[in-house]
């Protein structure tokens, strides 16, 4: 066990010396990895923040029944609706109440004053117990066929569209992450390939002295892993700087709408996952490069 730990320590020390001996090449490699990781992670954060914003502004879906003009079915319809077990709340909004609420909005009072009569119909605002889109649409269609109902609308259509866009965004994040993950492996592979070729004579001497392929490969694996970890750390710093820069602008925009909303970055678990995946992909590229070229030496 002590011998194994000593070998690992020696390989890690050798790797750190190699990194310090070529700082410019190390910085360029880490920069390429960091930017490649920052792109899919930034899109992931954008989708996550939009989804969090949607939970703040979303509300219980409501169905609005607009009654036919001059309908005498209002009382009967009200009793029928309140007797339904699939409705949690039934609220009647008279045409006068609707007009008064509309007049209270900015810029609408002058428009309403020019109207000869109240064009708004009586309506029932219903709160269903169901929340599934399919069940809500089926309920809307059933209610629209009730006597005295001119039209029935469901206000959750925007939420369904937003959910569809968010699902598309998550799928795009996965595709982009796969592409840039492959690019990270390719960068690590090429970097380690050059290192193996540069140390070809040193590797041949080590083999003559009895070094195994696992012993020779170990420093390169550490190199690929460290480059991946440093690239992930750089990506985290780039995203933190971007969120800090955009934070004040988002706060000002939210305040203009009378709301409070702050952008959130990566959590501890997400940061740990980013570091682990980046390190693993760097290790994989290094292993592929070292294994392939050691067979040729």
CATH architecture of 63-155: 2-Layer Sandwich (3.30)
CB 188 within 8 Å of CB 281: yes
Tell me the average pLDDT of the chain. 79
Residues 109-128: tens digit of each pLDDT? 555 555 556 667 888 888 88
Domain boundaries, the chain: 2-58+160-296, 63-155
CB 188 within 8 Å of CB 227: yes
Could you tell me which of 94, 11, 2, 4 has the C-alpha nearest to residue 286?
Answer: 11
Where does the pLDDT of residue 106 fall: very low under 50, low under 70, confident under 90, or very high at 90 and above? very low
Q: Which two tokens stand for residue 168?
A: 């598309």
- Identify which of 130-134, 162-166, 286-290 has the greatest average pLDDT: 286-290
Residues 27-74: tens digit of each pLDDT? 888 898 888 888 889 888 888 887 777 665 555 678 888 888 766 778
Apex CA 65: angle with CA 61 and CA 69, to 5°?
160
Q: Is residue 108 predicted with pLDDT exceeding 60?
A: no
CA–CA separation, 137 and 128 (whole Å): 11
Tell me the torsion sign for CA atoms 164, 169, 173, 179: positive
- Report pTM: 0.67
Identify the three-state secondary structure at position 152. strand
- Between these two residues, 102 and 179, which has the higher pLDDT value? 179
Q: What is the dihedral of CA 110, 111, 114, 116, to 10 degrees?
A: -130
Residue count of the chain, please give it: 297
CA–CA separation, 282 and 184 (whole Å): 7
CA distance from start to end of the chain: 30
Other CB atoms within 10 A of residue 231 CB: 29
């Amino acid at each position: 066990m002590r011998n194994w730990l000593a070998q690992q320590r020696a390989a890690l020390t050798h790797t750190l010396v190699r990194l310090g001996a070529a700082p410019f090449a190390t910085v360029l490699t880490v920069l390429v990895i960091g930017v490649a990781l920052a792109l899919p992670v930034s899109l992931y954060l954008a989708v996550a923040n939009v989804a969090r914003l949607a939970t703040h502004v979303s509300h219980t879906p409501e169905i609005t029944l607009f009654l036919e003009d001059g309908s005498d079915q209002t009382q009967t319809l009200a009793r029928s609706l309140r007797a339904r077990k699939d409705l949690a709340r039934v609220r009647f909004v008279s045409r006068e109440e609707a007009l008064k609420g509309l007049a209270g909005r900015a810029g609408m009072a002058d428009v309403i004053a020019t109207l000869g009569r109240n064009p708004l119909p009586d309506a029932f605002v219903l709160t269903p117990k169901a929340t599934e889109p399919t069940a809500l649409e089926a309920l809307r269609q059933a209610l629209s066929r009730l006597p005295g109902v001119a039209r029935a609308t469901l206000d959750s259509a925007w939420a369904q569209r937003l959910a569809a866009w968010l699902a598309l965004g998550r799928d795009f994040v996965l595709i982009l992450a796969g592409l840039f993950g492959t690019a990270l492996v390719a960068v690590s592979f090429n970097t380690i390939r050059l290192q193996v070729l540069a140390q070809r004579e040193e590797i041949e001497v080590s083999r003559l002295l009895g070094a195994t392929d696992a012993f020779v490969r170990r420093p390169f694996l550490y190199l690929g892993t460290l480059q991946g970890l440093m690239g992930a750390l750089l990506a985290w710093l780039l995203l933190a700087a971007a969120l800090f820069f955009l934070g004040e602008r988002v706060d000002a925009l939210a305040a203009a709408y009378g709301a409070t909303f702050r952008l959130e970055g990566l959590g501890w678990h997400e940061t740990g996952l980013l570091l682990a995946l980046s390190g693993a992909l760097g290790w994989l590229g290094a292993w592929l490069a070292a294994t392939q070229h050691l067979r040729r030496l």
